[in-house]
Amino acid sequence: MQLDTSAHPVAHDKRPFYRHLYFQVIIAITAGALLGHFYPQTGEALKPLGDGFIKLVKMIIAPVIFLTLVTGLAGMGSLRGVGSVVGKAFAYFLTFSTLALIVGLIVANVVRPGAGMNIDPASLDASAVAGYAEKAHDTSLIGFVMGIIPDTLVSAFVEGNILQVLFVAILFGIGLIMVGEKGKPVLNILESASFAIFRVVDILMKAAPIGAFGAFAFTIGKYGIASIMNLAMLVGTFYLTSALFVIVILGTVCVLNGFSIFRLISYLKAEILLVLGTSSSESALPSLMEKMEKAGCARPVVGLVVPTGYSFNLDGTNIYMTLAALFIAQATNTDLTLSQQILLLAVAMLSSKGAAGVTGAGFITLAATLSVVPTVPVAGMALILGVDRFMSECRSITNFIGNAVATVVVSRWHGAFDRDQFEAALGGRADGGYASPVTGLAVHPAGLQLGESSAD
Q: Domain for residue 245, yes or no?
A: yes
Predicted confidence at residue 228, as pLDDT, reads: 64
Q: Domain for residue 282, yes or no?
A: yes
Predicted confidence at residue 352, as pLDDT, reads: 66
Predicted confidence at residue 434, as pLDDT, reads: 38
Average pLDDT over residues 92-109: 91
The CATH number of whichever domain residue 297 belongs to comes to: 1.10.3860.10
Mean pLDDT estimate for the chain: 78
Contact 269, 22 (CB under 8 A): yes
Predicted confidence at residue 177, as pLDDT, reads: 84
Q: Domain for residue 161, yes or no?
A: yes
- A 10 A CB-CB count for 1 gives 12
pLDDT digits (tens, 9 = 90+) for 439-454: 344 444 333 333 333 3
Predicted confidence at residue 261, as pLDDT, reads: 95
- For residue 116, the enclosing domain spans 19-443
User: Which is nearest to 392 in space by CA: 254, 219, 260, 248?
Assistant: 219
Predicted confidence at residue 123, as pLDDT, reads: 64
Give exposure, 41-76, as e/b (b: 16+ Cβ within 10 Å).
eebbebbebbbebbebbbebbbbbbbbbbbbbbbbb
Q: Is the pLDDT of residue 210 over 70?
A: yes
User: Which is nearest to 210 in space by CA: 452, 27, 332, 394?
Assistant: 27
Band of residue 143 on the pLDDT scale cut at 50, 70, 90: low
Q: Is the pLDDT of residue 59 over 50?
A: yes
User: Which is nearest to 140 in space by CA: 378, 340, 347?
Assistant: 347
Helix (H, G, I), strand (E, B) or coil at 143: helix
User: Which is nearest to 62 in space by CA: 171, 175, 154, 192?
Assistant: 154
Predicted confidence at residue 116, as pLDDT, reads: 78
Contact 447, 304 (CB under 8 A): no
The answer for residues whose C-beta is within 8 angstroms of residue 338's C-beta and 6 or more apart is none
- A 10 A CB-CB count for 358 gives 19
Band of residue 92 on the pLDDT scale cut at 50, 70, 90: very high
Band of residue 340 on the pLDDT scale cut at 50, 70, 90: confident
Predicted confidence at residue 37, as pLDDT, reads: 86
Predicted confidence at residue 388, as pLDDT, reads: 75
- CA–CA dist 277, 56 (Å, integer): 15
- A 10 A CB-CB count for 431 gives 16
Give exposure, 398-407, as e/b (b: 16+ Cβ within 10 Å).
bbbbbbbbbb
**Whole-prediction pTM:** 0.75
Band of residue 397 on the pLDDT scale cut at 50, 70, 90: very high
Q: Is the pLDDT of residue 162 over 80?
A: no
- CA–CA dist 118, 331 (Å, integer): 6
**8-state DSSP, 437:** T
Q: Domain for residue 420, yes or no?
A: yes
Q: What is the total residue count of the chain? A: 456
Predicted confidence at residue 451, as pLDDT, reads: 34
Q: What percent of the chain has pLDDT over 90?
A: 17
User: Which is nearest to 50 in space by CA: 201, 199, 219, 203?
Assistant: 219
- CA–CA dist 117, 115 (Å, integer): 6
Predicted confidence at residue 405, as pLDDT, reads: 95
Give exposure, 196-207, as e/b (b: 16+ Cβ within 10 Å).
ebbebbbebbee
Q: Domain for residue 454, yes or no?
A: no
**8-state DSSP, 78:** -
Q: Domain for residue 414, yes or no?
A: yes
Contact 175, 69 (CB under 8 A): no
Predicted confidence at residue 125, as pLDDT, reads: 57
Helix (H, G, I), strand (E, B) or coil at 74: helix
pLDDT digits (tens, 9 = 90+) for 251-298: 999 999 999 999 999 999 988 988 888 877 778 888 898 899 999 998
**DSSP secondary structure string, 355-423?**
TTTSTTHHHHHHHHHHHHSTTS-GGGGGGTTTTHHHHHHHHHHHHHHHHHHHHHHHHHHTT-B-HHHHH
Band of residue 196 on the pLDDT scale cut at 50, 70, 90: confident
Per the structure, the count of domains in the chain is 1
Q: Is the pLDDT of residue 346 over 60?
A: yes
Range scoring the smallest mean pLDDT among 78-87, 172-181, 184-193, 261-270? 78-87
Band of residue 124 on the pLDDT scale cut at 50, 70, 90: low
Torsion of CA 99, 395, 437, 292, to 10 degrees: 10
- Top mean pLDDT of 104-113, 151-160, 185-194 is at 104-113
Predicted confidence at residue 114, as pLDDT, reads: 82
* Chain centroid, CA 68 distance in Å: 17
Predicted confidence at residue 99, as pLDDT, reads: 93
Range scoring the smallest mean pLDDT among 151-165, 223-237, 331-345? 223-237
Q: What percent of the chain has pLDDT over 70?
A: 78
- CA–CA dist 257, 413 (Å, integer): 9
User: Which is nearest to 271 in space by CA: 291, 248, 251, 254?
Assistant: 291
- Top mean pLDDT of 107-116, 173-182, 236-245, 421-430 is at 236-245
* Chain centroid, CA 355 distance in Å: 14
Q: Domain for residue 9, yes or no?
A: no
Predicted confidence at residue 3, as pLDDT, reads: 37
Q: Domain for residue 449, yes or no?
A: no
Give exposure, 99-127, as e/b (b: 16+ Cβ within 10 Å).
bbbebbbebbeebebbeebebebeebeee
